[in-house]
């Protein structure tokens, strides 16, 4: 039982029962503070710190509402995240959390389609046609396209293709840092007809640099 486990841990670790907290899986992250409160974790912390706990009961009404609200989300919103490091989602953790908060505010359940930028490029058709088809299907199945920041020139052409697809099909597009540069370069190439338009961040010798490094920055 839970009590037996707590007793064994208490003997082994010299930790009192009230300081042993169980954190099991929950439907969404906003349930965690409620879980801690229900196990009186705050009282255990205040006791160890020799602080008065009588007047410091946690006010978690907002947390409760958020947790319940997330549990009730059924309508989805699908965002295509087009980047170089899609195999390691933690690389975009801050962007992912921002998307999550935004989707909750819009009362939508977030679905992220991870699209490797290089798989959108024509070179992939010959090298791995299945990856090419999968990448484009993921992009076309999204309600919005997000191209986050990145470094180097690998996958840049794929990101440009993603920006072009979003613009031509009137799909909401958000470019962050490099992603914004990509949108500018794509517009210059496709609409203004400057075929060699580029950014000095990934092509320092570009003859048509539509994005440049500012010396004062």
Domain ranges of the chain: 2-68, 73-211
CATH class, 73-211 region: alpha beta
User: Catalytic site residue 177?
Assistant: yes
Do the beta carbons of residue 112 and residue 145 sit within 8 Å?
Answer: no
Check whether 170 has a pLDDT greater than 90.
yes
Which of 19, 70, 106, 177 is catalytic? The answer is 177
State the pTM of this model.
0.78
Burial 113-132 (b: 16+ CB within 10 A, else e): bbbbbbbbbeebeeeeeeeb
pLDDT, tens digit (0-9, with 9 covering 90-100), for 82-137: 988 766 777 888 999 999 999 998 999 999 999 999 999 988 988 889 999 999 99
């Amino acid at each position: 039982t839970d009590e037996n486990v707590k007793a064994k841990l208490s003997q082994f670790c010299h930790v009192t029962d009230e300081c042993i907290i169980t954190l099991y899986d929950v439907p969404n992250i906003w349930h965690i503070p409620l879980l801690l409160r229900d196990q009186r974790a705050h009282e255990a912390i205040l006791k160890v710190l020799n602080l008065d706990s009588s007047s410091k009961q946690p006010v978690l009404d907002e947390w409760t509402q958020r947790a319940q609200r997330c549990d009730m989300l059924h309508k989805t919103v699908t965002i295509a995240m087009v980047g170089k490091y899609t195999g390691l989602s933690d690389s975009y953790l801050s962007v992912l959390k921002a998307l999550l908060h935004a989707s909750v505010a819009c009362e939508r359940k977030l679905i992220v389609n991870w699209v490797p930028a290089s798989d959108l490029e024509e070179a992939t058709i010959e090298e791995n046609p299945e990856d090419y088809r999968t990448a484009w299907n993921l992009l076309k199945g999204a309600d919005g396209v997000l191209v986050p920041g990145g470094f180097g020139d690998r996958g840049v052409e794929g990101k440009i293709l993603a920006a072009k697809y979003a613009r031509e099909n009137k799909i909401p597009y958000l470019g962050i840092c490099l992603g914004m540069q990509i949108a500018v370069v794509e517009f210059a190439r496709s609409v203004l007809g400057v075929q060699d338009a580029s950014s000095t961040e990934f092509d320092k010798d570009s003859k048509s640099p539509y994005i440049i490094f500012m010396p004062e920055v």
